[in-house]
Structure 1
């Protein structure tokens, strides 16, 4: 049995590729790389086919996460047939996903940070228009929520 996880932000060049890269590393380190499949997408298609933002790549690289191979794509209706977890970075993207969601979707659709232990942030703030500290904050929030997500999947799907 495998589990499929999709992380979603607006353009798929900052927050969701960061989540994909960090979660992939955690999954691989846990030995579940063959059992958990991970992807990311954006609710907008502006950056389709492009690598993540250079600042996102640089911030992740400091933490030994290589995002340079990822390419942006837009979320599609068929994603609801493919993914067990579809996790939005913020409420606006969650609302967009809820509009796309078929009535019979049996997976988990929600905010990614709900899996984290920190309680200051409910949403992953978009660092695109800010400085480097915004990208560091995204990494910190994503690492926290990714650890909680992996724990939840292990408990619910593999126990």
Structure 2
């Protein structure tokens, strides 16, 4: 079982969107029993809350379920439990590095999956309001990530 954790600031916009999109894509490829996917935030403001309405709207528009996704905060044990820890921006990575266990953890930046994109961070739609752009990047990146997982781990 390969375990993937997406991380953003509050775990209501970008990381739950990526969790839902990767779950969907894994299901389409018949890999849902081979890959466990979760998301977390570095902050604690939204613990227990469902994804942001903008995220939910994008997922629904693309026929992707958000069932069972609720915000949680990153924990030290996550560094040991996940094969891939993928953060959405530099600030998220810096925050992860301050959590015990995060100093030396292998953390992948989401936009490193998309080297041909001009953006180097996934824009936070909580602040930009542009959930469509965030979805576009996450959709592309999750496709690349799934290929990477299949080639490296499955």
TM normalised by structure 1 equals: 0.90
| 1:6-155 matches, cutoff 5 A | 6-67=5-66, 69-100=68-99, 102=101, 108-116=106-114, 118-131=116-129, 134-155=130-151
Count of residues paired in the alignment: 154
Cα separation, 1, equivalents of 2:94 and 2:126? 20
Runs of 5+ consecutive residues of structure 1 not aligned to the other structure: none
Note if contact 2:44-2:72 (Cα within 8 Å) is conserved in structure 1. yes
Note if contact 1:51-1:68 (Cα within 8 Å) is conserved in structure 2. no
Runs of 5+ consecutive residues of structure 2 not aligned to the other structure: none
1:156 maps to what in 2? 152
Note if contact 2:97-2:103 (Cα within 8 Å) is conserved in structure 1. no
